[in-house]
């Protein structure tokens, strides 16, 4: 039977990687070294990493141009906010990751995020040959891992095997895409990476998209009460809403009942 098949791809932004030009990478290494030595501003309190040394960093101009070119290719290739005004955030951060330190599952604010690798101190195969790793069916020591939902609602992962060949490589992905970094254990050196975000004008942060999931807003029907209006009994129900402490503002829009007699009218409204 001779059949012609056509694949219909569902739109979804992906992950893009590129190698930083040598001249730009040398600029980046020099600029980053100066920051680490003379301008050490801790960034830990705003980050998820279980890493002792994380510093604020403002990328050099040549690397910003590289990120800008990459972002424009990203939006074009994946048709993701293509052509919209955007801002490459000046404040990035550098992770100086030591043995046994790690980054738990997290996502970023902004619209698109990037991570660049400056120095990888370990050999990936040595990491995977460690006694506590070699016989595992999920070998992930030292790896970067994306965590995402499949079409059926299940959880899937994609390991990115970060080794020495990734020095000078930058990766770009949607800010809401959850990811984590597993610890390494075979080197006393420092794994150096830089990360940052790009914001598209008018696009809400991840926090706005995940309001219900983050807040855990729940509605519990409480007791039925009786109240009087002009001496006539009426019954109604009370709803109790429980909101977690991370919310700073909530709006309640309440309407009164519509009158049912000759003198009735629309009920009062309060907000």
Question: Rg of the chain's alpha carbons, rounded to an integer?
Answer: 26
pLDDT of residue 217: 39
Would the pLDDT of 266 be above 50? yes
pLDDT per residue over 88-144, tens digit each? Answer: 999 999 999 999 999 999 999 999 999 999 999 999 999 999 999 999 999 999 999
| Separation between Cα atoms, residue 130 and residue 137, nearest integer Å | 14
Number of CB atoms found within 10 A of residue 193's CB: 22
pLDDT of residue 223: 41
Q: Can you tell me the mean pLDDT for 144-158?
A: 94
SS3 96: strand
Q: Comparing 1 with 130, which gets the higher pLDDT?
A: 130
pTM of the predicted model over 0.85: no
User: Which of 19-28, 89-98, 114-123, 225-234 is least confident?
Assistant: 225-234
Would the pLDDT of 207 be above 70? no
pLDDT class for 221, splitting at 50, 70, 90?
very low
Nearest to 258 by CA among 241, 234, 237: 234
Q: Is the dihedral of CA 179, 184, 187, 188 positive or negative?
A: positive
| Separation between Cα atoms, residue 96 and residue 51, nearest integer Å | 7
Q: Comparing 52 with 263, which gets the higher pLDDT?
A: 52
| Separation between Cα atoms, residue 229 and residue 222, nearest integer Å | 21
Q: Can you tell me the mean pLDDT for 184-202?
A: 97
pLDDT of residue 78: 95
pLDDT of residue 218: 39
| Separation between Cα atoms, residue 99 and residue 194, nearest integer Å | 17
Q: Name the packing angle between helices 61-78 and 22-38 (round to 10°).
A: 120
CB 93 within 8 A of CB 162: no
Q: Can you tell me the mean pLDDT for 209-233?
A: 43
């Amino acid at each position: 039977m001779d059949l012609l098949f056509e694949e219909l791809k569902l739109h979804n932004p992906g992950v893009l990687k590129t190698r930083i030009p040598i001249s730009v990478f040398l600029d980046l290494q020099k600029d980053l070294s100066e920051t680490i030595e003379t301008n050490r501003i801790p960034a830990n309190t705003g980050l998820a990493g279980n890493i002792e040394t994380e510093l604020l960093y403002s990328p050099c101009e040549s690397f910003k141009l590289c990120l800008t070119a990459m972002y424009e290719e990203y939006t074009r290739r994946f048709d993701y906010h293509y052509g919209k005004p955007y801002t490459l955030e000046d404040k990035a951060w550098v992770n100086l990751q030591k043995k046994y330190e790690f980054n738990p599952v997290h996502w970023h604010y902004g619209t698109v995020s990037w991570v660049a690798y400056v120095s990888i101190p370990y050999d990936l195969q040595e990491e995977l040959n460690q006694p506590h790793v070699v016989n595992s069916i999920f070998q992930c020591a030292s790896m970067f891992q994306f965590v995402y939902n499949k079409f059926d609602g299940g959880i899937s992962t994609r390991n990115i095997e970060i080794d020495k060949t990734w020095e000078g490589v930058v990766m770009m992905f949607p800010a809401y895409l959850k990811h984590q970094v597993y610890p390494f254990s075979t080197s006393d050196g420092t794994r150096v990476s830089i990360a940052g975000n790009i914001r598209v004008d008018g696009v809400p942060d991840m926090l706005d998209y995940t309001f219900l999931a983050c807040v855990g807003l729940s509605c519990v029907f409480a007791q039925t009460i009786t109240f009087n209006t002009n001496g006539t009994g009426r019954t109604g129900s009370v709803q109790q809403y429980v909101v977690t402490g991370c919310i700073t503002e909530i709006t309640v829009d309440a309407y009164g009942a519509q009158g049912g007699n000759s003198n009735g009218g629309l009920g009062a409204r309060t907000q």
